[in-house]
Amino acid sequence: MEYKERVYRQRLDETRWFSFTVKYKETDLWIGVDHASWRVEILSRATALVRALRQEMDRHVAIDPGYATALTPYPAGEEAPGIFREMSAVALRSGLGPMSAVAGAVARQVGEALQREFGCREIIVENGGDIYAWIERPIDISIFAGPSPLSGRVGLAIPAGVSPLGICTSSGTVGPSLSFGKADAVTIVCRDCALADTYATAFGNRIRSEEEIDPCLEEIGQIPDILAAVCIKGAKMGIRGAFELKIWNNLES
């Protein structure tokens, strides 16, 4: 089952964020900047960043096509773009191919660049359900889990003072990304957004039934870099880590 309409973007707090989207080829980012930091130049700069980053990545894949198709750790040479070297490094820790970290890596690089250049106090960059977040105030993040009855009704309450964060979700029932599992959602929170992305994919691959949630959470608990995790399959959910569970009684709240 594939969900292309990103309805979860409609639930963002417009009183807190000035938001816009940047699309180039398959890349589709939602970016939110606090109103006090917003400048019109941010939009054109974000667009230029995405285009340049994607073109750099595409050029290298044309030279080294194995990088894009590897399903196990794959080293990036010194001639590879910096983002590819970073993706290879974090994917080595999850045991997956480096493209398992691409959405989180792109979100982080764009978010960090905009912070650095414009001094944004708060910024969120969402890339296909993977989020780079720098926040000064608490924020609640709901989890889109496709056909699960828990979709949009549960999430994490993220406190202030923990930035930067990567909040990344993998699913075997939502979207076009490759997953060998059947989880409706596996959300992983790390300091590094690319690392959160590859771990979300790794544990999403492992969950094919409700019974596999608890063993995955046990293993997740042994990984210090993972600050929190939520695993959803059907009507069952498991949570582990430092952040509180947030529950919405209805989708309008």
The superfamily CATH assigns to domain 12-247 is ApbE-like domains (3.10.520.10)
Say which residue the tokens 């191919």 belong to: 97
Question: Structure pTM?
Answer: 0.91
Number of other CB atoms surrounding residue 114 within 10 Å: 21
Statement: residue 54 has pLDDT above 60 = yes
> Is 165 exposed, middle or buried (CB count within 10 Å of its CB: 0-12, 13-18, 19+)?
buried
Whole-angstrom distance, CA of residue 141 vs CA of residue 135: 12
The predicted pLDDT at position 178 comes to 56
Q: What is the H or E stretch that residue 195 is in? A: helix 193-206
Whether the per-residue pLDDT at 146 is higher than 70: the answer is yes
Position 6 scores a pLDDT of 42
- Mean pLDDT over the full length of the chain: 91
Q: For 177-222, how does the pLDDT look when each residue is reduced to its tens digit (9 = 90+)?
A: 556 678 999 999 999 999 999 999 999 999 999 999 999 999 999 9
- Band of residue 253 on the pLDDT scale cut at 50, 70, 90: very low
Across 113-139, average pLDDT: 95
Average pLDDT over residues 228-242: 96
Closest CA to 241 of 230, 251, 252, 231: 230
Domain extents in the chain: 12-247
Q: What is the pLDDT of residue 11?
A: 58
Pick 129 or 54 by higher pLDDT.
Answer: 54
- Dihedral, CA of residue 91, residue 95, residue 97 and residue 100, to nearest 10: -60
Query: Which pLDDT tens digit goes with each residue over 9-19?
Result: 555 667 889 99
According to the model, what pLDDT value does residue 9 have? 54
Looking up tokens 């952040």, which residue turns up?
243
Mean pLDDT of 37-49: 97
Across 100-121, average pLDDT: 97
| Beta carbons within 10 angstroms of residue 250's beta carbon | 7
| pLDDT above 70 coverage of the chain, percent | 91
| Mean pLDDT of the 26-43 span | 96
pLDDT at 2 over 60: no
Please give the pLDDT value at position 7: 42
Q: Is the pLDDT of residue 109 over 90?
A: yes
